[in-house]
Amino acid sequence: MATGQLFSRTTQALFYNYKQLPVQRMLDFDFLCGRETPSVAGIINPGSEGFQKLFFGQEEIAIPVHATIEAACAAHPTADVFINFASFRSAAASSMAALKQPTIKVVAIIAEGVPESDTKHLIAYARANNKVVIGPATVGGIQAGAFKIGDTAGTIDNIIQCKLYRPGSVGFVSKSGGMSNEMYNTVARVTDGIYEGIAIGGDVFPGSTLSDHILRFNNIPQIKMMVVLGELGGRDEYSLVEALKQGKVNKPVVAWVSGTCARLFKSEVQFGHAGAKSGGEMESAQAKNQALMDAGAIVPTSFEALESAIKETFEKLVEEGKVSPIKEVAPPQIPEDLSSAIKSGKVRAPTHIISTISDDRGEEPCYAGVPMSSIIEQGLGVGDVISLLWFKRSLPRYCTKFIEICVMLCADHGPCVSGAHNTIVTARAGKDLVSSLVSGLLTIGPRFGGAIDDAARYFKDACDRNLTPYEFVEGMKKKGIRVPGIGHRIKSRDNRDKRVELLQKFARSNFPSVKYMEYAVTVESYTLSKANNLVLNVDGAIGSLFLDLLAGSGMFSKQEIDEIVQIGYLNGLFVLARSIGLIGHTFDQKRLKQPLYRHPWEDVLYTK
């Protein structure tokens, strides 16, 4: 066990099992104390590497993250404190691994419930190798104005109130972390404050004892008096009694053992901590308080009188000239996090993204204001979800059914079209699903599947201007533009596209109006007079019918319809639908275990 000071203003720690709040609290304390370097040198997250962004005052810093304890210790040889936030299941193993590192001098174990046999092994190893274990079941410890472990002393407001941003003259040790926070406040009210405070933890076998730390405090010149807060259960306080009797402590010790009310209960009572359970008269609070008093400690008559006892002891030291007045310093202002400042109404900050189609902030996600559960309970389908997420409204059932038909009819068109071919080649090259899908999607454009918007745009303009098919087609020809939605490499007058016929049949039976579709049909009649394959294709059918859907539903203004066509909504239908087929082709090639594709040379015209 160390015989003097454990921490200083240059102490750095390794933090095991990253927790954002306690690490940030340590860094905020560093800034409050005016430290030049952060007290957290590195973070250990088993299996992870990289950096973790945190704040050191107003500056954002990147703290290295290491996958193993060994790697962290090698990267930060000056970090000699290991703060272990592992669960009780793994705390012992990770703590032992840290103790075995030559650079680690102090290990703080936060977890409660560490198996007692494991704790005993840790204690034995630490004592044999002159190392210190604080905990298990501890909040940690603090050296005022220099270094603190994790959540010790609580919030910044409490730290400032307790004047822990600068050193005082009192050494404090307790079993309880919660009571430590209370006592830091008490000590600050009636003395010049804490120099060092330790919570040894409430388990039956603490890694270090009350007397271990009192004996350390006795060797630290800056500490002029000590305060001890024990509790019923166990015999740890008696080691302090022996140290006092043997004259090993020559500074005033104010002590109190909590739990005097236990005698009021007829049966044995467990008080919070695993070790706070009286196992006989010697382990009672009354017996311990009496033994401490007999050994020379200053023991008040009750916990309520403890503050007065501390005050009187400190004032006596001041009178004797053993305590010099401490110059008060104003601590710097800790910058407030943006999230808390916004929450408290102190600042306002612009958002970076606007979303109007979905909201995941409540108990369940909502699509355009409709809760997910409502979508399921109403038996809505994919077409309804598309209407909510794309058009931000619930369209009539015939509209959503039409959307679903479009998706089904456009899902695939065989392995020979460019999109499927690209996907198949990519899948056979051993690429993953997303790469194979994207390679096929990238072929969608004016020549393959991407003419729906253009078809709708040109048909709408021509129909709205009352152009005859002749005027429309010939006008496009003069501009050097092929009529989108007209023409097919395979289909013809005598071999119509079944998909087009199905879409037209559904629309004529369900749509209030098919004005744009009928216009497209008249255009087709004119183009067929020029060539047998200039039929209305599926792009043209969907484009014209979607115009009828938007106009006939009565749910969209003219401006909204123009915007939908301009943005590219309708091509989105083809992209969505064809993704289903492209994914299918990817799985098909993977399932068939097809080898790398090489295009046959006899299918290539080699020429100069």
Distance CA 332, CA 32 (A): 6
Question: What is the three-class DSSP state of 172?
Answer: strand
C-beta separation of 370 from 467 below 8 A: no
Distance CA 403, CA 50 (A): 46
Distance CA 241, CA 232 (A): 15
140-143/194-199 β-pairing: antiparallel
DSSP assignment of 183-223 equals HHHHHHHHSS-EEEEEE--SSSS-SS-HHHHHHHHHT-TT-
CA torsion sign for 56, 59, 60, 61 is negative
CA 199 from centroid of its chain's CA atoms? 30
Distance CA 126, CA 208 (A): 9
Distance CA 581, CA 583 (A): 5
CA 131 from centroid of its chain's CA atoms? 35
Q: Which of 66, 273, 413, 585 is catalytic?
A: 273
- Residue 143 has phi, psi (to 5 degrees) of -110, 115
CA distances from 191 to 170, 255, 312, 313, 325 (A): 8, 16, 9, 9, 10
Is 599 noted as a catalytic residue in this protein?
Answer: no
Q: In 3D, which of 276, 266, 289, 179 has the Cα closest to residue 234? A: 276
C-beta separation of 157 from 129 below 8 A: no
Spatial CB neighbours of 187, under 8 Å, sequence gap ≥ 6? 162, 168, 170, 172, 193, 194, 227, 310
Distance CA 38, CA 13 (A): 9
Number of H helices, E strands in the chain: 23, 16
Q: According to DSSP H, which parts of 191-301 are helical? A: 210-218, 236-245, 285-295
Q: Which residues are catalytic?
A: 273
